[in-house]
Homo-oligomer: A and B are copies of this chain.
Amino acid sequence: MTTISLDELNTVDAAGFAAALGDIYEHAPWVAQAVCGKRPFTTLAALHEAMAGAVHGAPADRRLDLIKAHPDLAGKAARVGQLTASSRAEQASAGLDRLSEGEFAQFHRLNDSYRRKFAMPFIVCVRRHGKDSILRQFERRLQNDPDAETKTALAEIVRIGALRLDQRVEAADHLEVHGRLSTHVLDTHGGRPAEGVAVELFELSAAGERALIARAVTNRDGRTDAPLIDGRPLPIARYELRFHVADYFAARGAPQADPPFLDVVPVAFTVAEPEGHYHVPLLVSPWSYTTYRGS
């Protein structure tokens, strides 16, 4: 993906500006055009606010056109390859490009119900959700009245725009669109950070699927060298951390049962704030452990 600096955006001519940001809002180059004259933007946040303001300030029918220009989630356009590049990548991030027939049918039914009720496509910022969460959103928002739902759709469009903008533009500041998931293992048997513990992170689905998201080994400080998830929203979903503690204690020579009482410790938790910082540590001896949402 090509990126552009905020400086260059501030100095390029209007055509260049439109070309660089024309697809931030789906099939709506008018959003970029509307803010071109407000340059220079001193921060990325200011640019984003301006574009969001252009959306919210547009006439009602133009806002409705913007909504309607979005593709169905896991819809026919996706099946036959007619999505914009951004939409395709976004839908793939939540696994919507590899649904089972049953799931595809479920999305089809929900899309239909939604279009029948609201006469527009269901829009959600999919990078902020796992598949189960998207389905829950679908079910919940079908209960909304049309006004509330139109507001919700526009809010989601602005979230999508913010994520695309943050990816596209290099600037000194970042939009607050990213979350972080980290861990930390403390050896309460030896009284020190646990170095060398293998850790895996899985995203779980209600249907029992397990997708490996990250794999790491703790360093001298008991942490992983990089966060397990960083630089993107944390999809609202259920996760499982798996800590290989029996191997760790065996390597340290700590006495354990045979076979060890604790082997791979699973810690299952659910992310509810995609832009949050989730720190999920483990304080562990061969016979006990504590975990919590830390900071």
Contacts and interface: CB of A to CB of B under 8 A. Distances in A.
Interface string A189-219: 1111100000000000000000000000000
Contacts of A291: 288-289
A188 B292 contact: yes
A238 interface: yes
A242 to B, nearest CB: 9
Interface in A63-79: none
A133 B291 CA distance: 29
A83 interface: no
A106 interface: no
Given A264-B268, A270-B260, A295 B222 contact: yes
How many interface residues does chain A have, given as a range? 35 or more
Contacts of A192: 293, 295
Copies in the complex: 4
Nearest to A187: B287
B222 A287 contact: no
A285 interface: yes
A238 B222 contact: no
Nearest to A268: B266
A54 interface: no
Nearest to A186: B294
8 contacts: A188-B188, A188-B287, A188-B288, A190-B287, A191-B261, A266-B268, A283-B288, A288-B293
Interface of A: 133, 136, 186, 188-193, 221-222, 236, 238, 240, 255, 257-266, 268-270, 272-273, 283, 285-295
